[in-house]
Amino acid sequence: MALDRLRWHNATARMRRWWRDDVLNAPLEPILHPSRLRLVGIGLFTCIGHLAFYGIWSQWLPQPYENAWVRALVAASSMVYFSIGWRRDFGSVGGGRWFTVVTWLQLPWFFSWMYLMNDGNGVWLASLGAMILIYFHFTDWRLASAGLLAGSAAGVLSAWLVRNGELLWPSTEHLLIIVFASSMGLLLGMSSANLRRVRLVNTLSTMGVMAHELRTPLATVHLLGDVLRNLAQQDNPEVRRRKLEDLGTRLQNLVHGMNRHIDMQIANAQMMRLPREQSSIRASDLVRSVVDNFPYRTSRERCCVSVHIQRDFHFRGAYALFAQVLANLIKNALHALASASTALCPGDLRITVDARRQRGRIVVADDGVGIAGDLQSRIFEPFYSTQAGAGNGLGLSFCRNVVEGAHGRLTVHSQSGMGAVFTIDLPLDRSEAHVPPHAPLSPDPCH
């Protein structure tokens, strides 16, 4: 009996852990395996397929019911797939929502409705079964499950209204086939999600080993920096002392920068598994902490950064992730300034905190080389970088995922040669007390 209770306890614990980690807390993936080719292919199949099948079922192999207007509406909805594909808007909240709505409309709702309007004949039973498997292949299994239930209910209601309550309900054999197709679709969707998770875990494990191996020699370099700075304190001429001090500081800043870069890449690899824990964050505290602790390469870089707190605010999010977001935007801005032909000056990189119209904003603006208009739609794509040979193209994609995970928006406004302005727009945290409109600035280390 004790063994049976232990087994039962372990089984229920595993079930609760699966429900918590894989169902409740796992991020939704509205578009599975996104790519331009995949989205454009879905759009072409949706547009051409519905028009072609309208001709087949109405002319060549006539079915009891067809509707040209509904077919045209569903075919026109394919424009959403083309738009998401060509703009590469795969990971944004807006793109995922539009994909979810259009896919729900043209799969579970349309096929359920047409199945009932055709009195559940063999053609539409087969079409309904194929639709279920396709639906679970297109989107997250949780969205597909909820969409299938809601779409079927909406299809029944639509058919009931059009036919004034005169419906031929599915037979027992048909219901068994529909349940079988739904069960197989759910099984395939869940196993696919598990496979993606296992691959991600393996990738993160590999990156963890690589990070450990890199940090070992970096620790040695950091110790060399300490040795040089200690030598500088000995009885040395002033010029030599300054050179040793500067060299030791540069080595240690290099180590800090490399460690931060390693942390960023590990977080980048978790773009699809961002932690859900959230806390109330004061924007001014976040900005000042990141600016003060950023591993600047030179004192001139530090002095070119200015912070302006116009109206402070609180928002909810993961502090460590938003610190990485801000650090990445500062790193990109400093790179853009370094690529410009002019020397760094105070105020070349401006970080502003403001709140208006029930929203908070953190703006990172620089006077660097800017971003060409035709590239601005691509800079948030994974693995696309404007820094040839210097970036892996994951930073801004990671930033957008973090900001949108907190129900915010990350936008860019830029012109070539005129600098760039990145704006983080976030909802205010109403649970916090009122924040004073003008928080005092910390002392400027450049003066």
Q: Which of 122, 140, 170 is the last residue of a domain?
A: 170
CATH number assigned to the domain comprising residue 308: 3.30.565.10
Whether 374 is in a domain gets the answer: yes
Give the model's pLDDT for residue 61: 92
Q: Residue 350 pairs with which residues in a beta bridge?
A: 306, 365
Which residue type occupies 205?
S
pLDDT in tens, the chain (447 residues): 666 677 777 778 778 777 776 777 677 788 888 888 889 999 999 999 999 999 999 999 999 999 999 999 999 999 999 988 887 777 677 788 899 999 999 999 999 999 999 999 999 999 999 999 999 999 999 999 999 999 999 999 999 999 888 888 888 999 999 999 999 999 998 888 877 777 766 666 666 666 666 666 777 776 777 777 777 777 667 777 777 777 777 777 777 667 666 666 555 555 444 455 578 899 999 999 999 888 887 888 888 999 999 999 999 988 888 998 998 899 888 888 888 767 788 888 999 999 988 899 999 999 888 887 767 666 776 655 555 444 445 677 778 888 888 888 888 888 887 889 999 999 998 776 555 554 445 445 565
Whether 273 is in a domain gets the answer: no
Whether 233 is in a domain gets the answer: no
| Residue span of the structural domain in which 410 resides | 279-447
Phi, psi of 23 (to 5 degrees): -105, -50
Please count the structural domains in the chain.
2
pTM to 2 decimal places: 0.63
In 233-318, which ranges are continuous DSSP H helix? Answer: 238-268, 283-293, 299-303
In this structure, are 37 and 154 located in the same domain?
Answer: yes
Q: Which of 170, 187, 219 is the last residue of a domain?
A: 170
Whether 68 is in a domain gets the answer: yes
Give the model's pLDDT for residue 211: 63
- C-alpha distances (whole Å) from 125 to each of 46, 166, 246, 297 are 19, 19, 76, 66
Which residue type occupies 348?
D
Whether 239 is in a domain gets the answer: no
In this structure, are 306 and 441 located in the same domain?
Answer: yes
In this structure, are 316 and 440 located in the same domain?
Answer: yes
- C-alpha distances (whole Å) from 170 to each of 51, 122, 411 are 27, 11, 50
| First vs last C-alpha separation in the chain | 75
Q: Which of 154, 170, 186 is the last residue of a domain?
A: 170
Indicate the SS3 state at residue 314. Answer: strand
Whether 393 is in a domain gets the answer: yes
Sign, CA dihedral 101-104-105-109, equals: negative
Tokens representing 377 are 């739609």
Please say whether the beta carbons of 97 and 89 come within 8 A: no
- Tell which residue, 261, 233, 267, has the closest CA to residue 248: 233
Whether 440 is in a domain gets the answer: yes
**Rounded to 10 degrees, what is the CA torsion of 18, 20, 21, 25?**
150
| Kind and range of the H or E run holding 210 | helix 172-232
What is the radius of gyration, based on Cα positions, of the chain?
A: 28
Which residue type occupies 341?
S
Whether 159 is in a domain gets the answer: yes
Pairing of strands 349-356, 305-309: parallel
Cα 355 from Cα 158, distance rounded (Å): 45
Sign, CA dihedral 379-384-386-390, equals: positive
Tokens representing 158 are 């639509």
